[in-house]
Amino acid sequence: MLPALTLVLGGAASGKSQWAESLILNSGLNPVYLATSRIWDEEMQAKVDLHKARRGAEWTTVDAANGVRDGLAGAGPDQALLLDCATMWLTNLMMDEADIVDAQASLLTDLARCAAPVVVVSNEVGQSIVPENALARRFREAQGRLNIALAAQADTVWHVLAGLPQLRKGDAP
């Protein structure tokens, strides 16, 4: 049984999305994928296509690139939601020059109100070097604050490193 909120953290290409997908599929609930990525170029389109093919037809995909509120609010208790990923969600907000503090507060409220269990995937970006430009440094700080807030609210937190999931908070399903 999935808890109300699970956070899956890891670096880029760490296996976090596949681990999160397995958590959803093992729940026995109807899997719903909240896709936060915007398609910027052919490389990103290829990545999205690969993820869709890996998930298969049993997943319902909801385009949440412009916000996840509707997907979370419309979920039922017979579903399990995968929000993949909080990092792209944050990127979209920063590119739109949105109020990050208000958006994060709204996201946390929407997650708490969701009738379905939610697994959130997010990148751990704080273990690398200090970025050389102001936008990248602002992003790193905002991502760190978002991950801290998500982890504080989550019932379960996993860290995936090189495809190996490690439980950091809560109980394994």
From the CB of residue 37, how many other CB atoms can be counted at a distance below 10 Å? 20
Reported as a pLDDT band with limits 50, 70 and 90, residue 138 is: very high
In terms of Cα–Cα distance, which of 29, 39, 55, 42 is closest to 121? 55
The answer to whether residues 42 and 67 touch, using CB atoms and an 8 Å cutoff, is no
**pLDDT at residue 80, rounded to an integer:** 98
pLDDT tens, residue by residue, 36-67: 999 989 998 998 898 888 888 899 999 998 88
List 51, 86, 93, 146, catalytic entry: 51
Q: How many domains does the chain have?
A: 1
pLDDT tens, residue by residue, 23-40: 999 999 999 999 999 998
**Cα distances (Å, whole numbers) of residue 167 to 6, 15, 19, 24, 64:** 11, 14, 12, 16, 27
pLDDT higher than 80, residue 144: yes
Inter-axis angle of helices 16-25 and 42-55, nearest 10:
30
Q: Which domain holds residue 97?
A: 5-169
Q: Establish whether 159 is a catalytic residue.
A: no
Rounded distance, CA 104 to CA 95, Å? 15
* CATH at residue 10: 3.40.50.300
Task: Indicate the pTM of the whole model.
Answer: 0.95
